[in-house]
Amino acid sequence: MYKAAVMGDWDSIYGFGALGFETVVEDGRDPEAAAGALLALAEREVALIYITEALAAQIPEAVEKLKGRLTPAVILIPGISGNTGEGIRAVKRSVEQAVGSDILFGNS
């Protein structure tokens, strides 16, 4: 059975555990360890990984490596420090790639 996980700093993700998500606390101070943790999740039966935008910014190569795979889906979410907008830009790029135009915001 596939699982869902969330990665980020403790303050941003602690509530997800109560919802049944596997939580992986990484604050980005050791990007190599954070990248390793993300790739380790990808090798297990984890179909969905939410990762805070701040942590994803610290490990862009690891996040990019997983983009072409069917599973896991890696979704950027805002953390306690706020929304950088990268999560919505990633969704917008994915939709544009899938349908060929910007149907979300109507911008040309």
Q: What pLDDT digit, counting tens, does each position of 21-66 carry?
A: 999 999 889 999 999 999 999 999 899 999 999 999 999 999 999 9
More confident residue, 43 or 102: 43
| Beta strands in the chain, from DSSP E residues, in sequence order | 3-8, 22-25, 46-52, 73-77
**In this predicted structure, what is the pLDDT of residue 103?**
64
* pLDDT-derived band at 105, boundaries 50, 70, 90: low
Neighbours of 47 (CB within 10 A): 14
Q: Which residues contact 42 (CB under 8 A, 6 or more apart)?
A: 49, 66, 69, 72
Is the pTM above the cut of 0.75? yes
Phi-psi region of 103 (alpha: psi -120 to 50; beta: other; left: phi over 0): alpha
More confident residue, 71 or 88: 71
Tokens (6 digits) for 62: 């690891």
**In this predicted structure, what is the pLDDT of residue 95?**
63
